[in-house]
Amino acid sequence: MTAAIQAEIGPPTGPRRIGRLSVGSWILYDLANTSFSLAVVTLYFPDLLTNVLGYGDATVTTLDASAAALIFIAAPVLGALSDQASRRLPFLALSTLLCVGATFFLGQSSIPLMFALFVMATFCFQAGLIFYDSLLPEVSTDENRGRIGGIGVGVGYLGSLLAIGVGSFILAVEDEATLEAYTNVFRAIAVVFLVFALPAFLFVRERPRVAPPISWRIVPEAFSQLAATARRARHYRGLGRFLVGRLFYADAANTLIFVVFLYATGSLGLPSGIAKAAAVPSIVMAIPAGLAWGVVVDRVGPKRTLDIVLVLWMGIFAGAAAIPVLHLVPELIFVVSALAGVALAGLWASDRPLMARLAPPRYYGQFFGLYSMVGRFGAIVGPFMWGLIADDRALGWGQPAAVMFLLLWVVIAFVVLRRVDDRPRDWGPDDLARLAPEPGARVATA
């Protein structure tokens, strides 16, 4: 290897020593952001809008779709930042702090301001995921990436339990479902998010990369390079097809997360308290499932694992739709919820390692930005279509029909992904990350 090439990609690679504190801190961030996702996006904000303020499904899903649209537009810039900056952690910290701040002040008597803060918080949460997911290779190796990601998923769902416990305690103390009570819930969740995110900012050990100074030109350049990034995906085996398939299954999963509470209280007629309790089996099952799926990913590969998970999703959506259509007992939603927890854990445990396997290390930021874009595009379409299909003021076909729409998208994803393989790639020098030599590292000269 020439000195020029070695200097470009960094010091000689060998078995990397990754500290447990670095890994544990990365995993804790999964707990932090999952607490926000469950408490704010899935449960308490939709509950506030529908059961306290009197808004319908379409309002709730439109707000989520608005945040998804903004992250869809911003993802190319965020991905470019992730690749061109010498470190990703400062951007993860900034996006997290903005999300925490917007969440803390979410309960506002001004409805337009409340809506704007929710969109901002959700946008910053999703922006942080671009930087966070790109850090997975920094805390894992190709041999243990599934287990590390799976542990993150499992521990992350502990954050969901924590969020439900915090929210339920505060609402019980308040003894009345009011805007002020939900304001206290949002403030508590903001504090939880911040506390468990801090170790990642302090202790994750990120390898510095060779990077030019960042300037304002990164914005127009990011959009001009978006088409080039999409074209570049075609040159890496299976990457483009994976991104297309992800658009469909991420749409289904993200929409389910956002509307599960609406479905339980709407089509199944469950009281608000029981509907919230229906989320508990999902979370409880997801914790061990995340650990188990991680082992499966490392043993059989992320692609085969993802195939199994998508088949499980098909059964879950069919079962959820069958409960009201066949007039089954509504409490069966607890069984569906438990299976959904297993499937969600499997999806996230296999999804990120597969992306890390298919994308070249030098362009992780760009491709994880594109990865986020396709997921957010699905999150625009999914909530919009849910509102269009289910809301009486639109098509009015009902929520079970909207669930079947999500099932269709999972089937499409499964078909699209059939030809993707996850065999290890042999990256050339142009595809490797340009790492800056660490202090004291020896750089080969020949």
- Is residue 406 in some structural domain? yes
- Is residue 412 in some structural domain? yes
- Is residue 143 in some structural domain? yes
Whole-angstrom Cα distance, residue 168 to residue 200? 27
Give pLDDT, residue 298.
87
Q: How far is CA 70 from CA 63, 244, 333, in A?
A: 11, 20, 33
- Is residue 425 in some structural domain? no
Whole-angstrom Cα distance, residue 34 to residue 345? 12
- pLDDT 10s digit of each residue in the chain, 446 long? 333 333 333 444 445 677 889 999 999 999 999 899 888 988 899 889 888 888 876 787 788 878 878 887 887 777 777 666 677 888 899 999 999 999 999 988 899 999 999 999 999 998 898 888 878 888 888 778 878 888 888 888 888 889 888 998 998 887 777 888 999 999 999 999 999 999 999 999 887 766 555 656 666 666 666 677 777 777 788 888 998 899 899 888 878 766 777 788 778 878 877 877 777 888 888 888 888 998 899 899 999 999 999 999 999 999 989 988 888 888 888 898 899 889 988 998 898 889 888 888 777 777 877 787 777 776 677 777 877 887 767 777 888 888 898 999 999 999 999 989 888 777 777 776 555 544 444 433 33
Domain total of the chain: 1
- Is residue 61 in some structural domain? yes
- Domain range spanning residue 64? 18-202+233-419
Q: What is the CATH number of the domain that holds 348?
A: 1.20.1250.20
Give pLDDT, residue 82.
67
CA 153 from chain center: how many Å?
A: 10
Give pLDDT, residue 364.
74
Whole-angstrom Cα distance, residue 370 to residue 353? 15
Give pLDDT, residue 210.
60
Quickly tell me which residue has 């969109």 as its tokens. 119
Q: In one letter, which amino acid is 62?
A: T
- Is residue 113 in some structural domain? yes
- Is residue 440 in some structural domain? no
Cβ neighbour number for residue 368 with a 10 Å cutoff: 28
Q: What is the number of H-type helices and E-type strands within the chain?
A: 16, 0
Quickly tell me which residue has 């998804």 as its tokens. 68
Q: Is 141 exposed, middle or buried (0-12, 13-18, 19+ CB in 10 A)?
A: exposed
- Is residue 142 in some structural domain? yes
